[in-house]
Amino acid sequence: MTDVGRHPLIKLHTMSEIVDVKGYVGNFDIKILKKARYVSEEDCTACGDCATACPVVRPDEFNLGLSSRKAIFTPFPQAVPSAYVININECLGHNPVVCAKCLEACEKGCINFHMSDDEIEERVGSIVVATGLEPYDPTELDEYGYTRFENVLTSLEFERLVNAGGPTKGKLIRPTDRRLPKSVGFIQCVGSRSARKGSSYCSNTCCMNTIKSTLVLKEHYPDIDIKVFYIDIRAVGKGFEDLFMRSRRLGVHYLRGLPGNVEELPNHSMRVAVENTVTGLLEFFNLEMLVLALGMKPAKSTRRLQEMLGLQLTSDGFFLEAHPKLKPVDAASRGIFYAGCAESPKDIKESVTQASAAAVRAIRLMHKGEIYTEPITSEIDPEKCTACGMCAEVCPYNAITKGIRKKTPSVVNTAACAGCGTCAAECPYDAIVMNHFTDGQINNQIDSMLEKSSQEKILVFACNWCSYAGADYAGVSRLQYPSNVRIIRTMCSGRVDEKFIFNGFLNGAPVVLVSGCHIGDCHYIDANRWTEKRVKKIRKKMEKLGIRPERLQLEWISAAEGSRFAEIMGRMEKLRQGVSMQEISETIEILRNRGKKPKTE
Amino acid sequence: MEPVTSINTKPQTRIGVYVCHCGSNIAQTVNCPKVSETASKLEDVVISKDIAYACSEPGQQEILDDIHEHGLDRIVVASCSPRLHEPTFRQMMQSAGLNPYLLEMANLREQCSWVHLNEPDDATQKAEDLVKMAVSRARLLQPLEEEKLPLTKRTLIIGGGIAGIQASLDLADNGYEVVLVEKNASIGGTMAHLDKTFPTMDCSI
């Protein structure tokens, strides 16, 4: 940690959060909100005189409320940066009449109440997302009594209690009577591997963390009675099984089965009722202290960052990697990498391994100092453009400069264009060519797909980042769905032009599905909002023309929702079965006649 | 042999189609030789083959040889998802002197053989359709040029826990500038709360 603080190439912004990200791989422009510390990071020597003078006493977050701190404090003794910080909401204020005792106490004059929050801008070429985890909140699992009984602790609270730097200097005590408990029970999988409460996944580290805790306890208190209630002990890492065997040799009692109920006895011990699934018997144990082995949840900031950076999440809420085996630390968006528990629950060794991998992936990208951009961008045909400005309005990147009149057509700034194709789909004059996903290319795909037995087929448009990836994920998971589905890939659902849909129906498609990322998850900021609007508009048009609007469907499917993709395909097939040959012929007739009339748009 | 560079100037489109078995991943469900044969009858298709592993070295070499021998100017690879191997085959195109954007892939694995395991006939029919669609698209593909842009040799690291710390140090020790952003007043994250850590049983900080 101290290496980070003094490394000349590392600029550390603490008390800071990302508020905006613009640009792309190679050149991201980042806006960071740095909250005021009210103590100079450079000058503070962490002598602590200010905290001694401070009259405000508050629970210490670092020790999870098991000790107290002042309103001016250092998070923990080894903190980096080592400077103190003022919680301004707790501080009595700098008005000398009110308090300002710390100001007087600080000889170096490091405290400055006039500091304000700072907005910092940084340009970077790559990003590593290492936002970590949030421990599971066990208050909803009331059967373990965490909110009701003082001697039921979380595994993190227990860590602080046995830590030499913790509130008791490492001496284990019961919160109610401050004496060493004679017996301690550990309950595993609190918030993990449950379909009912918490999460269904395994949090990966809690088994080993508990085994470690039993070893620490046995080392200090050889006579302490320890029981571990578990579903399975998962000790799959290098050397892990040895630690487990050591714990058992030291007399720790491992009992297969999670307690159903915990009650408090008059002496503040806990009576634990558990079905021992080895013996099949209901057993009762009186334990003086209980520790809940908390599972991991994604960090709270995950959702916000995911939207800002245009990333994808798994159904568990962790960040989704580009490929589970071949690109395990890359995000699907170029230039963004994952490290640590942001991607999935993992222990320290795995986090360190992944962080080094992410660093090398970033170096691999950056070392040449230049980057090639995909030429999948749009182009405006100046002959056809009327400078109506529609394209500039829908562009999520403001990459199009609206022309003034017909003689000065709109222009695409290719460096800023990300290639979603929404402009090409919205242009009423067909004046925009979306490179690599041109009208001609996509219409060719539609035509050849529907050339034979069109009535039996389902036409699906899928966006590269979410729904197409979701379809791939259905494949990887070997989920089976109707074989008459034909997928056409576009970079974004925003590319799906009204023309394509009507071309599909004109060629005899019974059902057309447009699919893309969930609203808020669009890889192109918010281009899929235009997809949504467009599909609504087309369905109204269909109704007017006498085509059943239900035959055009819109679904949002994320890259992790393979099962949702398969399930939707099943639904599309049901819908298709309800479309008769006669209905298809009528639609073709309607659309043919429509083509003969002068355009009314 | 005719020089490769002259191929693009030929007015007629010359497409090569390669139907990959992917070992048994595709071939156990999809009748690859049949798909390849159907594709050979499509307009502009000069050569169509089924191939054991298109992405392997011999697989790529076979395609490269055909490009030179038959003057192919567009390639359709019917194999796995383009999200997996499109970069591989684009590189192959480049090494043959062809523009990488003249490649098209048909997704016969993730979106066909793996999702219709019990319907070999229907899956084969679907594969034929997917290849036909890919060929019709390939016919209109245009060469595109990538743009070279300057890159900022700096990395933003979001989160100062053990992972963020390790990534920062690795990058900085390699001479790259790092901006490390942490929401709390100190770095350290969850790790800093822990007492001893497994498997070494030493302290976390």
H or E, element range at A59: strand A57-59
Question: Which whole number is the average pLDDT over A262-284?
Answer: 96
When CB atoms are compared, the residue of B83, B174, B196 closest to A212 is B196
Structure confidence at residue A326 (pLDDT):
83
Domain boundary among A73, A100, A124: A124
- Residue A599 pLDDT > 70: no
- Residue A544 pLDDT > 50: yes
The answer to whether residue A390 is domain-embedded is yes
Provide the residue range defining the domain that includes A390: 373-436
Question: Please, is A401 exposed, middle or buried when counting C-beta atoms within 10 Å of its C-beta (0-12, 13-18, 19+)?
Answer: middle
Q: Do residues A242 and A144 both lie within one domain? A: yes
Q: What percent of chain B has pLDDT over 90?
A: 85
Contact (Cβ atoms closer than 8 angstroms) between residue A492 and residue A457: no
When CB atoms are compared, the residue of A348, A366, A440 closest to B153 is A366
Structure confidence at residue B201 (pLDDT):
81
A148 in contact with chain B, both atoms CB, cutoff 8 A: no
Name the phi and psi angles at B48, rounded to 5.
-140, 130
A322-331 per-position pLDDT tens digit: 888 888 999 9
Q: Do residues A169 and A278 both lie within one domain? A: yes
Nearest to B72 by CA among B93, B51, B88: B93
Q: Do residues A325 and A279 both lie within one domain? A: no
A237 contacts on B by Cβ (under 8 Å): 199
Question: Are A4 and B150 inside 8 Å of each other by CB?
Answer: no
A570 in contact with chain B, both atoms CB, cutoff 8 A: no
The answer to whether residue A304 is domain-embedded is yes
Question: Are A11 and B178 inside 8 Å of each other by CB?
Answer: yes
B177 contacts on A by Cβ (under 8 Å): 9-11
- Residue A525 pLDDT > 50: yes
A149-158 per-position pLDDT tens digit: 999 999 999 9
Structure confidence at residue A414 (pLDDT):
84
Q: Do residues A478 and A565 both lie within one domain? A: yes
Q: Residues 274-313, chain A: which have Cβ within 8 Å of B?
A: 299, 301, 305
H or E, element range at B65: helix B57-70
- Check residues A435 and A522 and name the one with the higher pLDDT: A435
Question: Are A128 and B146 inside 8 Å of each other by CB?
Answer: no
Q: How confident is the model at residue A147 (pLDDT cuts 50, 70, 90)?
A: very high
A168 in contact with chain B, both atoms CB, cutoff 8 A: no
Question: Which whole number is the average pLDDT over A556-567?
Answer: 96
Among chain A residues, the shortest Cα distance to B175 is held by A9
Structure confidence at residue A598 (pLDDT):
54
Question: Are A17 and B183 inside 8 Å of each other by CB?
Answer: yes
The answer to whether residue A417 is domain-embedded is yes
The answer to whether residue A599 is domain-embedded is no
The answer to whether residue A79 is domain-embedded is yes
What is the number of structural domains in chain A?
5
Structure confidence at residue A597 (pLDDT):
58
Structure confidence at residue B1 (pLDDT):
42
For CA atoms B106, B112, B114, B117, the dihedral sign is negative
B93 contacts on A by Cβ (under 8 Å): none
Mean pLDDT of chain A: 94
The domain that contains A575 carries what CATH number? 3.40.50
Distance from the Cα of A492 to chain B's closest Cα (Å) equals: 14
Residues 6+ apart with CB under 8 A from B158: A18, A127, A128, A129, A130, A131, A305, B164, B181
Question: Are B158 and A478 inside 8 Å of each other by CB?
Answer: no
Q: Do residues A293 and A415 both lie within one domain? A: no
Q: How confident is the model at residue B8 (pLDDT cuts 50, 70, 90)?
A: very low
A339-366 per-position pLDDT tens digit: 999 999 999 999 999 999 999 999 999 9
The answer to whether residue A90 is domain-embedded is yes
Q: Do residues A143 and A292 both lie within one domain? A: yes
Structure confidence at residue B6 (pLDDT):
42
- Residue A26 pLDDT > 60: yes
Q: Do residues A198 and A308 both lie within one domain? A: no
Domain boundary among A248, A273, A297: A297
Q: How confident is the model at residue A243 (pLDDT cuts 50, 70, 90)?
A: very high
Q: Residues 95-134, chain B: which have Cβ within 8 Å of A?
A: 101, 107, 109-112, 114-119, 122-123, 125-126, 129-130, 132-134
Query: The tokens of A72 are what?
Result: 């001016």
Q: Do residues A267 and A156 both lie within one domain? A: yes
The answer to whether residue A129 is domain-embedded is no
The answer to whether residue A601 is domain-embedded is no
Domain boundary among A252, A280, A297: A297
A351 contacts on B by Cβ (under 8 Å): 161-163, 166
Q: Do residues A109 and A87 both lie within one domain? A: yes
Structure confidence at residue A311 (pLDDT):
87
Q: Do residues A154 and A113 both lie within one domain? A: no
A100-137 per-position pLDDT tens digit: 899 999 999 999 999 999 999 999 999 999 999 999 99
Q: Do residues A234 and A327 both lie within one domain? A: no
Question: Which whole number is the average pLDDT over A270-282?
Answer: 96
A584 in contact with chain B, both atoms CB, cutoff 8 A: no
Q: Do residues A443 and A559 both lie within one domain? A: yes
Structure confidence at residue A7 (pLDDT):
96
Q: At CA A500, angle to CA A495 and CA A503, rounded to 5? A: 180
Distance from the Cα of A511 to chain B's closest Cα (Å) equals: 17
Residues 6+ apart with CB under 8 A from A113: A38, A94, A103
Question: Which whole number is the average pLDDT over A139-165?
Answer: 94
